Amino acid sequence: MNRRETGMEKNIIDVLARRASVRAYDKERPLPQGVLEKLLTAAMQAPTTGNMQLYSVIITDSTDGKERLKQLHFGQPMAADCAALLTFCADVHRFGRWCAARKAQSGLDNGGGMLMAMEDAVIFAQQFVTLAEAEGLGTCYLGTVPYNIEAFAKELNLPSGVMPLFSVAVGYPAGERPAPSDRLPLEAVMHHEKYRRPAADDIDAWYSAKEALPESVRFIAENGKETLAQVYADVRYPRAQNEKIAADLVPFFFC
């Protein structure tokens, strides 16, 4: 029996089944020396497009630095309360510099390159998050970077071709870990051979548990809406906001 067939595989499934985003951190408990380097080194073994590693990560662990990034993250407290805030970036700059130094011209400064770099950065980041959780740390993504992308680039001194995507807060949880949050049933996301368009009854069945959660009922009331979908579509992720992000992102990457 090899290692994959022993407890190792089960452990990671257990870690993921219990996982939940941590937004409250123990401010008195720093990370052990070298743990970020250990986890990031392991995370770099994640698959990457053509083994180009089209990503970078900026670690912010000074009190001042975290406080400045917290402001850019619309004041989310965990940005300053965590032990370290890691901002993951899609990066075609380093690869372009290598090409230029080796009599080659990078062909990645376009939409195709942007897609590859985003894929690489997301896979790297999530590999790190899984490892951090397995190490007993808490983590939470902060997706508020694209709303303030120029300010993040300035604060983190990013050259062109380096696009910050999100930050990840890392640290020891303060108190109890949150309970895992709800997910759709597997049948809602898993298809065999061909995509099966959901019937109206499927949508009702798959989303009803989420809609019945006390926090969903509260969101609907607080926002004066009729349905949870309206809260998502009109309040949390409205079209105009997403179109502004798209309009800012593309020129940012290519300038």
Ligand X SMILES: Cc1cc2nc3c(=O)[nH]c(=O)nc-3n(C[C@H](O)[C@H](O)[C@H](O)COP(=O)(O)O)c2cc1C
Candidates 35, 80, 142, 149: give the one binding ligand X (CB under 6 A): 142
Contact yes or no for 72/78 (Cβ under 8 A): no
Select 21 or 53, whichever has its Cβ closest to ligand X: 21
For ligand X, which is the closer residue by CB, 124 or 166? 166
- Confirm or reject binding of residue 140 to ligand X (CB under 6 A): yes
Each residue 165-204 as x (binds ligand X by CB under 6 A) or -, in order, gives -x--------------x-----------------------
**Candidate segments 16-24, 27-35, 88-96, 187-195, binder of ligand X by CB under 6 A:** 16-24
Among 15, 21, 49, 248, which residue sits at the site for ligand X (rule: CB under 6 A)? 21
Residue 147 touching ligand X (CB under 6 A): no
Q: For residues 75 and 111, which CB has a smaller minimum distance to ligand X in the complex?
A: 75
d(CA 155, CA 212): 42
Least distance to ligand X, CB of residue 171, Å = 14
190/180 Cα distance (integer angstroms): 21
Q: Work out how close the CB of 147 gets to ligand X at its nearest, in angstroms, rounded to a whole number.
A: 9
Nearest to ligand X of 112, 143 (CB atom): 143
- Pattern 48-87, ligand X, x by CB under 6 A: ----------------------------x-----------
Strands (E), the chain: 55-60, 84-91, 138-142, 162-171
Integer Cα distance of 49 and 55 in angstroms? 10
Cβ contact 178:20 at 8 Å: yes
Q: Can you tell me the distance from the alpha carbon of 43 to that of 57, in angstroms, rounded to the nearest whole number?
A: 12
How many residues touch ligand X (CB under 6 A)?
A: 11
Q: Does 141 bind ligand X (CB under 6 A)?
A: yes
Shortest Å distance, C-beta 168 to ligand X = 9
Q: Which stretch binds ligand X (CB under 6 A): 3-11, 85-93, 136-144, 202-210?
A: 136-144
- Nearest to 164, CA basis, from 242, 53, 58: 58
Contact call for residues 130 and 16 (beta carbons, < 8 A): yes
**Alpha helix (H) residue ranges in 82-238:** 93-101, 111-134, 149-156, 186-189, 200-212, 214-222, 228-230
Indicate the SS3 state at residue 169.
strand
Cα gap 235→109, rounded to integer Å: 34
| Alpha carbons 5 and 229: distance in angstroms, whole number | 42
Interface residues toward ligand X, by CB under 6 A: 20-21, 23, 76, 140-144, 166, 181
